[in-house]
């Protein structure tokens, strides 16, 4: 009785195990995924997207891989710069499995290996740079790390597409010193800007005063030139008119009765000028005898006047 129950349980368990193995021999692989199949402990084939049947008890699905691009976070680590400053740096890398067979048999865990390689490479690169350089050359650091990962990832069947540094965190004391230095630089730039602005303002004002003085002097010069030209033109006009009058007078004298007319005109002019001098309350002493008008006219017109 006991033996029969034991056999019944054994066969039931065997049938269940056989059903499980038959179920496990049926594989449906999704897109961008693959399965590494081993036959009797050796690599057999790689199953890609689709429906596949394995031979029970012979074929074994040993490894599963995704062919999508993977983002792997690189934990923060302490690096020492060339000027002996400790900084914590972390990043993120993006990789893709290109050869599932190499990724399965070339290394135990390619994700862990790539992460460790990034950290060691980062420490080596940061050790050759000053602290200021690490902030300014992130792209250079990323490209150098990517170059090392490309060479190391080929035997592992993976390719690192890019690596990005996320944070560079120096010690708190260094951050405070950098902030003070930055503040001092900003203050210095502000003072330089103010002094340059004041200098430019002074220069502009002096140039304005200079231009104003030049314009005033030019205006005064032009004014004097214009006045001189006006006076010269006036003198020239008066001289021309006087010469013309003299010419006309000379021509009139040469005509018949011209001399007598001139003498008469002079006598009339003389009388008018004497009348102007003879005002009320004015005493005049003249070297002429006005009572004898004829003698006065002879003195004025000359001894040739006999008919006046």
Residue 87 exposed, middle or buried by CB count within 10 Å (0-12, 13-18, 19+): buried
| Lowest mean pLDDT, pick from 16-20, 81-85, 195-199, 298-302 | 298-302
Kindly report the number of other CB atoms within 10 A of residue 218's CB atom.
Answer: 10
Q: Which residue is it, tokens 């005898």?
A: 289
DSSP 34-95: EEEEEETTEEEEEE-SEEEEPPTTTEEEEEEEE-S-EEEEEEEEEEE-TTS-EEEEEEEEEE
Distance CA 91, CA 131 (A): 17
pLDDT for 257: 65
Q: For the chain, which residues make up each domain, given as ranges?
A: 25-66, 70-170, 174-244
pLDDT greater than 90 at residue 184: no
pLDDT band at 307 (very low <50, low <70, confident <90, very high): very low
Token pair for residue 37? 């199949």
More confident residue, 308 or 149: 149
pLDDT for 264: 65
pLDDT for 253: 67
Is 46:36 a contact under the CB 8 Å cutoff? Answer: yes
| Lowest mean pLDDT, pick from 101-115, 133-147, 164-178, 249-263 | 249-263
pLDDT for 295: 60
Token pair for residue 11? 């066969």
pLDDT for 94: 92
Q: For the structural domain made of 70-170, what CATH number should be given?
A: 3.30.479.30
Q: What percent of the chain has pLDDT over 90?
A: 8
Give tens-digit pLDDT for 268-303.
Answer: 666 676 666 655 555 655 555 555 555 655 655 554
Give tens-digit pLDDT for 19-31.
Answer: 777 777 888 888 8
- Please state, in angstroms and as integers, the Cα–Cα distance from residue 42 to each residue in 38, 45, 102, 135, 306, following that order: 5, 10, 14, 50, 168
More confident residue, 179 or 215: 215
Please state, rounded to an integer, the average pLDDT across all residues of the chain: 80
pLDDT greater than 60 at residue 306: no
More confident residue, 71 or 27: 71
Give tens-digit pLDDT for 229-254.
Answer: 888 888 888 878 777 777 776 776 66
pLDDT for 242: 75
pLDDT band at 261 (very low <50, low <70, confident <90, very high): low
pLDDT for 97: 92
pLDDT greater than 90 at residue 34: yes
pLDDT band at 305 (very low <50, low <70, confident <90, very high): very low
H/E run at residue 271:
helix 258-277
pLDDT for 220: 85
Distance CA 157, CA 73 (A): 20
Average pLDDT in the 172-178 region? 73
Distance CA 138, CA 231 (A): 83
Question: Mutual orientation of helices 293-301 and 258-277 as an angle, nearest 10°?
Answer: 120
Q: Tell me the β-bridge partners of 29.
A: 50
Give tens-digit pLDDT for 113-161.
Answer: 999 999 898 888 888 888 878 877 888 888 888 888 888 888 889 998 8
């Amino acid at each position: 009785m006991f033996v029969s129950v034991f056999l019944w349980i054994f066969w039931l368990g065997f049938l269940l195990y056989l059903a499980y193995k038959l179920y496990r021999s049926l594989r449906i692989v999704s897109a961008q995924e693959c399965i590494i199949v081993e036959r009797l402990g050796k690599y057999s084939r790689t199953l890609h997207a689709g429906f596949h049947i394995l031979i029970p008890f012979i074929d074994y699905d040993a490894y599963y891989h995704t062919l999508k691009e993977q983002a792997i976070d690189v934990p923060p680590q302490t690096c020492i710069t060339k000027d002996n400053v400790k900084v914590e740096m972390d990043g993120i890398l993006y990789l893709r499995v290109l050869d599932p067979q190499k990724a399965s048999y070339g290394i135990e865990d390619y994700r862990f290996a790539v992460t460790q390689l990034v950290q060691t490479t980062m420490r080596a690169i940061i050790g050759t740079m000053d602290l200021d350089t690490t902030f300014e050359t992130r792209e250079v650091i990323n490209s150098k790390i990517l170059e090392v990962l490309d060479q190391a990832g080929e035997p592992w069947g993976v390719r690192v597409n890019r690596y990005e540094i996320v944070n560079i965190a120096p010690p708190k004391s260094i951050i405070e010193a950098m902030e003070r230095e930055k503040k001092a630089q900003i203050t210095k730039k502000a003072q330089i800007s103010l002094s340059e602005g004041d200098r430019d303002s002074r220069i502009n004002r002096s140039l304005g005063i200079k231009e104003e003085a030049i314009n005033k002097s030019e205006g005064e010069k032009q004014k004097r030139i214009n006045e001189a030209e006006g006076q010269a033109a006036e003198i020239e006009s008066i001289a021309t008119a006087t010469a013309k009058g003299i010419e006309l007078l000379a021509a009139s004298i040469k005509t018949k009765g011209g001399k007598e007319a001139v003498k008469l005109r002079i006598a009339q002019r003389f009388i008018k000028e004497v009348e102007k001098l003879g005002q009320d309350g004015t005493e005049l002493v003249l070297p002429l005898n006005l009572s004898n008008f004829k003698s006065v006219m002879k003195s004025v017109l000359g001894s040739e006047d006999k008919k006046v």
